[in-house]
Chain A
Amino acid sequence: MKFLYNLGRYFILLKRVFERPEKQSIYRRRFFDEIEKLGLNSIGIVFIISFFIGAVLTIQTAYNMTNPLFPRYLIGLGVRDSLLLEFSSTIVALILAGKVGSGIATELGTMRITEQIDALEIMGINSASYLIFPKIVAMIVFNPFLTLISNIVGIFGGLLVAVFTDYTNPSEFIFGLQYAFTPYYLVYALIKSVVFAFLITTISAFYGYNVQGGAIDISKASTVASVQSSIFVLTFNLILTNLLL
């Protein structure tokens, strides 16, 4: 029952978020602020995680291909497709659910308990739209870039393993990267990244916007926002994979 109650409140909040913006020039400015806050500031962590995922994936794939009948270029192919299909979209989304999700919930929760949201409402501003809409748009626009960056950096991490270790050699790895490439996998990854961006931003915003109480409640909302965002990312990962592949 509580789930249904919260789901109803979530959709009511979304309705308010997507009402006509008050003043578009202000929203444009806020959009670029959010791009910096949510997107650009996440590049570092995406870079580090993707690099190591790519490197480890290369070693693990090589470790499982000891049979001499398997051509060595399959390592590059396996790393490419694993990153493209799953790691760069889903794992990055899970990381962002923690970093961005908790950030959004904390920011909005603090604004709620310090009455900043009430101040906006009293001024006649649709606070839900003003605060949340630019975040959603910024994440939807930027998350596909993060996914692409993650792919590129992950492949680079794998390539470095190929260069500096004996698991495979760089020319075979690069051949594998180019072999039997399916462009639709990229479309699939980008569609997932857009959906995940929407889920992370709206779910986290929902928990932050509706905080009641004090500092402990903000902390709780931040944790719940990350956990719920992660669960919904994983659930929609399954649904989208079933639908799109």
Chain B
Amino acid sequence: MIEVRNISKSFNGSVVLNNISAKFERGKTNLIIGQSGSGKTVLLKTIVGLFKPDNGDIYYDNINFTRLNTKEKKNIRKQIGMIFQGGALFDSCTVEENVKYPLDMFTDKSYEEKIEIVNYCLKRVNLINTNKMYPSQLSGGMIKRVAIARAIVLNPSYLFCDEPTTGLDPKTAGLIDALIKEITIEYNTTTIINTHDMNSVLEIGDKVIFINRGTKSWEGTKEEILNSDNDELNNFVFAAKIFQKFFPNKNIV
């Protein structure tokens, strides 16, 4: 489980996160939603340690991550898998080298053992015969799947996804969502996903946190989200025309 307590973060005097607290449970897909610029990416990057919070604490299974030294943080980070919005694959490396990379850095396995694990992970994300391809030769959906394969290659305890379906067609986005959900259950990871894709929210949102202007505005499940009386949340959720058709009684400001 990951818990954040009273997290605040500012950049050049501008408050981006304001006193956010939340719990993200193991084996569940926890979604952080909000408009672009609401602070959800900063929250995710603060949780993984890319940004240092101005105030507050972050707990990884009751270990206070913010109070650890660099070496201790490294041990936690080895248990983290992260899928970036653009994939963040190393473009000078092949698919195989990208996925093998964490194994090279953190294990003493033989080359054959590593390749076996890499092939398993690539097969797990439904990518075969792509080992020798470079990221520039892959489609958006394939890049995301390689990123997922790289994220799970060390059997992570924590999985973070920054807008994993952005820029993908609805069918591929659905496949990526399903894959993340399956992996969360299979590896029993604490999964945190940043998204503004309502399809993802309704498909895989075991727990949903709505961030509005840097503060936590709402928290609940995907079932509760459609019946919420939070105006800011409703403005966000029902902004899409297709939702307005199905929920005509919702007041959108």
Contact = CB atoms under 8 A, between A and B. Distances in A.
Interface stretch (A122-130, A135-143, A159-167): A122-130
B77 A115 contact: no
Contacts, number: 51
Q: B interface, by DSSP: helix, strand, loop or mixed?
A: mixed
Given A23-B104, A116-B90, A123-B106, 9 more contacts: A23-B105, A114-B86, A116-B89, A118-B45, A119-B88, A121-B50, A123-B101, A124-B77, A125-B105
B60 interface: no
Interface in B135-162: 160
B187 interface: no
B102 interface: yes
B125 interface: no
Interface string A23-38: 1001000000000000
A125 B50 CA distance: 12
A122 B82 contact: yes
Interface of A: 22-23, 26, 110, 114-116, 118-119, 121-125
B192 to A, nearest CB: 13
B123 interface: no
Contacts of A22: 105
B78 A124 contact: yes
B77 A116 contact: no
A26 B101 CA distance: 10
Contact of B77 (A23, A114, A122): A122
A123 B85 contact: no
Interface residues of B, number: 25
A26 B102 CA distance: 11
Nearest to B85: A115
A114 B86 CA distance: 7
A120 to B, nearest CB: 9
12 contacts: A110-B91, A114-B86, A114-B91, A115-B84, A116-B90, A118-B84, A119-B90, A122-B50, A123-B77, A123-B106, A124-B76, A124-B78
Contact of B82 (A26, A119, A125): A119
B233 interface: no
B237 interface: no
B80 interface: yes
A16 to B, nearest CB: 10
A64 to B, nearest CB: 49
Contacts of B160: 122
Nearest to B107: A23
B104 A122 contact: no
A118 B77 contact: no
A116 B105 CA distance: 15
Contacts of A125: 105
Nearest to B73: A124
Given A23-B105, A123-B102, A123-B105, A118 B74 contact: no
A121 B76 CA distance: 12
B92 to A, nearest CB: 9
Nearest to A29: B104
A115 B105 contact: no
A19 to B, nearest CB: 9
Contacts of B82: 119, 122
A118 B87 CA distance: 11
A114 B102 CA distance: 18
Contacts of B85: 115
B95 to A, nearest CB: 15
Contact of A118 (B76, B88, B105): B88
B215 to A, nearest CB: 25
Contacts of A110: 91
Most buried by B among A110, A114, A121: A114
B183 interface: no
Nearest to B162: A115
B86 A115 contact: yes
Contact of B50 (A23, A114, A118): A118
B118 interface: no
A125 B85 CA distance: 20
Nearest to A122: B82
Contacts of B49: 121-122
